[in-house]
Amino acid sequence: MDYVAALVPPVVMAVAFTALVVTIVKSQGGANKGKEDAIVDAAFARAEAATAEGKASGA
């Protein structure tokens, strides 16, 4: 019975990881995709602007 106890944790983790991946894939796209993309684009623009501003004032 030791082999059952040894195999249960990896099997449980594999099932949980598979469920996580399926959930992530299913949540991509959909009605809110445009809004989510716009939020990410705005965050990248703010980060790039802050980086450029830091380099300009530090140079």
Q: Which two tokens stand for residue 39?
A: 């939020």
Q: Residues 29-49: pLDDT tens digits?
A: 777 788 888 999 999 999 999
Whether 52 has a pLDDT exceeding 90, the answer reads no
User: In 10 A of CB 36, how many CB atoms?
Assistant: 13
What are the residue boundaries of the structural domains of the chain, listed by start? 2-58
SS3 47: helix
pLDDT score of 26: 86
pLDDT of residue 36: 82
pLDDT in tens, 13-34: 999 999 999 998 888 877 778 8
Helices of type H across the chain = 2-27, 33-58
